[in-house]
Amino acid sequence: MSTPAYKRVLLKLSGEALMGGDAFGINRATILRMTEEIHGVVSLGVQLAVVIGGGNIFRGVAPGAQGMDRATADYMGMLATVMNGLALQDALKNHGVDTRVQSALNIDQVVERYIRPKALRYLEEGKVVVFAAGTGNPFFTTDTAAALRGAEIGAEMVLKATKVDGIYSADPNKDPNATRYSRISFDEAIVRRLEVMDATAFALCRDQKLPIKVFSINKPGALRRVVCGEDEGTLVQV
């Protein structure tokens, strides 16, 4: 069995990662595959927290949200992340993984309120903790929430799951000669305006010396290889 290189990590999942090939919503086969990957990592003894986006849900109502106040639209997006968190919790439960969803917004009848000491205790007990509703504030992305929660729980690394297997010198879908970086600094990522995470998230991780690993969630076994310290994806560090 592989030996994990990290004891505690935070996984950032975009809502779009749950869509599979669908236009919006949650693709059942896709979420089941992801839960299998998460189950495999947790079985290694890794303490895993998840920040999940809501773009897949919000995309279905986006046409009707055109012209809407930005803060209102952001709150709708936060509620979409709660829906995704509940879906992920249910799928993980079916895999025998004990999971708790904590929300930055008060929705006590549905999910717990985010409380840092409780989240830490859950992680130490081997439970997966899903952080929903972003930071609880408009104008901040779930990328920034991932950086913030990662720092708060003392994660050793933020794992940014994307559609591509790392950061490239150019768009690999358009340029066949694009090369993947094995590692890059936060300053380079910010200066080059790499659209992997927003600048606020990069700056927060840089200031907290919290490395980010960018990898493809669509590659079978990629999550396990990342937590085991293998050459997978791109490492962003100070």
**Annotated binding residue at 96?**
no
**Annotated binding residue at 10?**
no
Which residue is associated with the tokens 């919290």? 210
**Annotated binding residue at 144?**
no
**Annotated binding residue at 209?**
no
DSSP H helices, 3-46, are: 28-42
**Annotated binding residue at 74?**
yes
**Annotated binding residue at 162?**
yes
Catalogue the long-range contacts made by 190-198 (C-beta closer than 8 Å, 24 or more residues apart). 194/167, 196/160, 196/162, 196/167, 196/236, 197/12, 197/143, 197/146, 197/147, 197/160, 198/141, 198/143, 198/144
| Residue 90 neighbours by CB under 8 Å, 6+ apart | none
How many residues are present in the chain?
238
**Annotated binding residue at 15?**
yes
**Annotated binding residue at 79?**
no
**Annotated binding residue at 202?**
no
**Annotated binding residue at 137?**
yes
Distance between first and last Cα of the chain: 31
> Number of C-alpha atoms within 13 angstroms, CB side, residue 140?
15
**Annotated binding residue at 12?**
yes
**Annotated binding residue at 141?**
yes
**Annotated binding residue at 206?**
no
**Annotated binding residue at 30?**
no
Euclidean distance between CA atoms 216 and 221, whole angstroms:
10
**Annotated binding residue at 54?**
yes
Bind-site residues:
12-15, 54-55, 59, 74, 135-142, 162, 168, 171
Bind-site residues for ATP:
12-15, 55, 59, 162, 168, 171
Bind-site residues for UMP:
54, 74, 135-142
